[in-house]
Structure 1
Amino acid sequence: MFRPLLPFIAALLLVPAAHAGGPTMSLGAAEDVLKAPDLPTAKAKMTLFRLSGFTSLRVTAQWQGTETAPPATELTSLRNVAAAAQLSGVRLYLSVYPRGSSVTPNTPEAQASFVSYLTTLKQLLPGVKDFIIGNEPNINRFWLPQFAADGSDAAASSYVALLARSYDAIKTVDPGTRIWGGALAPRGIDRPSSGRDTHSPVTFLRDMGAVYRASGRTLPLMDGLAFHPYADTSGQSPDTPHPNSTTIGLGDYDRLVRNLGLAFDGTPQSGTTLPILYDEFGVESAIPEGEKKTYTGTEPGTTKPVDEITQGAYYARALQLAFCQPSVTGIFLFHSQDEPGLPNWQSGIYYADGTPKSSLFSVRDALARTRGGSIARCDGLGLDVTATKVRFPTQGELGRGSRVIRFTCTLDCLWQVRVSSASTNDTRFRLTGFGRAGVPVLTSLKGRKLGRGAVRFAITLTHPVNPGVPQTRQSVPLSLP
């Protein structure tokens, strides 16, 4: 978490394709509060999480520096959240990283302990198919040293070594598990001996590439890049670009892809086409007086929290940006529920006591529009909508006066119901409307003048925002009484 201003061949075939964004993105939150000591509690929390509109969840497991396996209590909570996620249809991502810079695994022995801890987690949680390795290794809060004595990038060298060992170990256990590397903070100052030794993501990615190329490794390091595109403050719109700095936010996608290409293109590790997961993005909202009793401490002056309406609008804007960025495969809000300590993060759509903020409703709607493909119009994106659960009236129902057509759109849709002559195909009646993805549509033609004789009923669907090829389903010929 970053506070602004503060057999391997099979594995290669499993790298997700670029241009996989749009409505197929993973939409979720980074939220450890869903971990619980028993399954019923975890399931209750997961149900509330799912009702918020989230379909993916990132939880963490923090390596304490020496252990080679997770403690029993940690394993129990992870098993419970994994089971609750499976029961609720939620895709679970597990972020595994050293708890802080004091336990950075720089030595071969420390890295061996970390990889053993990671491998044990994978073996005991076989259903988890997405692992994020490390957390913001480009800043001194989570990784030290950042610089070697000569000023070179020590953090990139040791992190690449750990990532490679982690990749190989997990792929040996399960080649189908996806390894996400990086989890980079969006900014850093690239200046040693400053008192806050950090690397910008631009520098860190290029240094990772240089270390990887020099290693002669013939296997990838990762299946995708995790990234934390926080704005400079919560008061800054997420689409703000940073053209004159090395900071990378949501508005700097092209620069992120370009630097991935500079780092890795021409090697066994994908660069320009590497899938990107925004596994943390948060906007803090100001806590109203009536809710402050559940919070402690003081908000830092650098945070600049926004009102809840703006928070919801900024989250919707973040979803719009990610939706149209071709290689982005997911975006997670940090968090779904506020942390109770004001020095930490009040970026949830629920207060710390679990009651909803007003931003919940706009975020839930934005998540639904993202899944339906309507959150934004994207250049070059054409979505084909198909109809499922289609039911035209039967001959017997027509005889009894029922003229109901039912169907469900796979994405948001503009639908047209057409009644035509079965012999000449001339249109006798046409009705249009809008449907939400996954929401059943029921259309009654009772009382409409459809004439007599043999007719066909037809449904034609197009996407309302990113139209692809219209899709049509039609009935067999039916006789109107």
Structure 2
Amino acid sequence: MTITRVVFTALLLPAFSLAACTSVDSHKLAAPSAVHSAPPHEGSCSASNLGVTAVTAGATPDLLDRQSREISERKIRWVRLTIEWPIVNQEFGTFDWTSTDNLVNSFHDRGTEILGVATWAPTWAVPPQNQLVKHPAPADPARFAEFVSIATKRYQNRIRTWEIWNEPNIGIAFGPGVNVNLYAAMLIRSYAAIKAIDPNIVVVSGATAPTVDNGYDLSPASFFEQLYREGAGHSFDAIAMHPYSDHGFLSRYFGEGSSANAIAQVRMTMVRNGDAKKKIWFTEFGATTGGPRALSEPDQAAFLVDGINYLKALPFCGGIFVFDYRDVETGSPVADFNYGLVRSDFTPKESLAAVLGTL
């Protein structure tokens, strides 16, 4: 999902504010016809492979402290954090790690494993004609890889798993339109940079959003097939996907355009290209309780348990991250602001206990 991390840095808020958050139509949910979840199965994902995102953790020091503390106390092993190039390196040649250090340290110091997502590009690193585009791709893959290298060195002992970009298969997250050749160059260079620092750090491809080929976006299977053709197959240790399900329960719909179908197609692409031993990490999965595609809170809980159990049962599951730990603004008409396991005042939804029950 292309929601931007909220940062407690006044100078950055105009460019990276909640007003800039966007909704990806392909994530919309139909209300499930029933609330019975799929039965749990034995798969390759265990409690140690389950995590959450924490979009609002960096908004204020109090929010960061509370979210990092609660996630740790609730025995959620992993958190997915965006390490945003524009926040750290807003001006060419100038780096300010303050807010990102605070974010990383708050979770790391409480023993939570971090999946770091190196993503987005500062205005100075974007082609002039694309500077007004939402989440534009960088002009030079080498510049992006340089940032990844600097971040990897800085957090070498705190972030041991990196995801390279967020949803590069859709134009709204890799503007002005998907460019697999450019992304492949970014991935290849970033992988080499990370492994040169520490070959034991895990590198995950940028997670794909659920969509179909439409001339602007690429389906997950098409995206990864082209990525292999670009020679990037040796530049990730695992593939990542965001299996949002717009047809209802993930376990119940396998039609064209569904995430279950996309997972199967991506897996076949991996096997066909000699990557049967690699895993798929599901680095965002969730359901909203607000906005035009809202589920009731009980239905959200059942939806999440069904999806987690379905993904856990896959023998190639590498990890599952629920989007999101906390609502941005409970009751907002913006669907993306209501994905939390807890409300914006930190009172738990039914989904919190339900998800913790899958650990």
Q: TM-score if structure 2 supplies the norm length? A: 0.77
2:281 counterpart residue number: 277
Deviations 1:163-205 (A, max 9, x none): 00000111111212111113111212x233xxxx111112111
Letter in structure 2 aligned against 1:191: N
1:132 counterpart residue number: 163
Question: In 2, Cα distance between the equivalents of 1:210 and 1:275?
Answer: 19
Structure 2 residue corresponding to 1:333, chosen from 311, 322, 325? 322
2:35 counterpart residue number: none
Question: In 1, Cα distance between the equivalents of 2:252 and 2:152?
Answer: 38
Letter in structure 2 aligned against 1:113: R
Deviation at 1:69, TM superposition (A): 7.0
Deviation at 1:53, TM superposition (A): 4.2
Distance 1:284 1:211, change over 3 A: same
Q: Secondary structure at the match of 1:179?
A: strand
Question: In 2, Cα distance between the equivalents of 1:61 and 1:70?
Answer: 16
Q: Secondary structure at the match of 1:278?
A: strand
1:104 counterpart residue number: 137
Structure 1 residue corresponding to 2:112, chosen from 90, 100, 124? 90
Deviation at 1:352, TM superposition (A): 1.6
Q: Is the 8 A contact 2:187 2:235 kept in 1?
A: yes
1:58 aligns with 2:91: no
Question: In 2, Cα distance between the equivalents of 1:91 and 1:306?
Answer: 30
Structure 2 residue corresponding to 1:5, chosen from 26, 32, 54? 26
Question: In 1, Cα distance between the equivalents of 2:93 and 2:317?
Answer: 32
Deviation at 1:113, TM superposition (A): 1.9
Q: Is the 8 A contact 2:220 2:262 kept in 1?
A: no
Letter in structure 1 aligned against 2:170: I
Distance 1:70 1:272, change over 3 A: farther
Deviations 1:222-241 (A, max 9, x none): 011111000016xx112133
Q: Is the 8 A contact 1:139 1:198 kept in 2?
A: yes
Question: In 2, Cα distance between the equivalents of 1:80 and 1:323?
Answer: 32
Structure 2 residue corresponding to 1:170, chosen from 194, 200, 203? 194
Q: Secondary structure at the match of 2:81?
A: strand
Question: In 1, Cα distance between the equivalents of 2:196 and 2:246?
Answer: 40
Deviations 1:410-458 (A, max 9, x none): xxxxxxxxxxxxxxxxxxxxxxxxxxxxxxxxxxxxxxxxxxxxxxxxx
Between Structure 1 and Structure 2, which shows a larger proportion of helix residues?
2
Q: Alignment length, in residue pairs?
A: 307
Distance 1:133 1:186, change over 3 A: same
1:49 counterpart residue number: 71
Identity level (%)? 22
Q: Is the 8 A contact 1:4 1:231 kept in 2?
A: no
Letter in structure 1 aligned against 2:214: R
1:202 counterpart residue number: 221
Q: Secondary structure at the match of 1:58?
A: strand
Q: Is the 8 A contact 2:161 2:204 kept in 1?
A: yes
1:254 counterpart residue number: 264
Letter in structure 2 aligned against 1:134: W
Question: In 2, Cα distance between the equivalents of 1:42 and 1:207?
Answer: 39
Q: Secondary structure at the match of 1:183?
A: coil
Structure 2 residue corresponding to 1:117, chosen from 139, 143, 147? 147
Distance 1:81 1:334, change over 3 A: same
Deviation at 1:123, TM superposition (A): 1.5
Question: In 2, Cα distance between the equivalents of 1:37 and 1:182?
Answer: 27
1:181 counterpart residue number: 205
Question: In 2, Cα distance between the equivalents of 1:178 and 1:354?
Answer: 32
Distance 1:331 1:185, change over 3 A: same
Q: Is the 8 A contact 2:342 2:349 kept in 1?
A: yes
Structure 2 residue corresponding to 1:342, chosen from 333, 337, 342? 333
Deviation at 1:44, TM superposition (A): 3.5
Higher RCO (CA < 8 A, seq sep 6+): 2
Letter in structure 1 aligned against 2:305: A
- List runs of 5+ in structure 2 lacking aligned partners: 3-23, 28-41, 122-132
Larger Rg, first or second structure (1 or 2)? 1
Q: TM-score if structure 1 supplies the norm length? A: 0.59
Question: In 1, Cα distance between the equivalents of 2:73 and 2:59?
Answer: 18
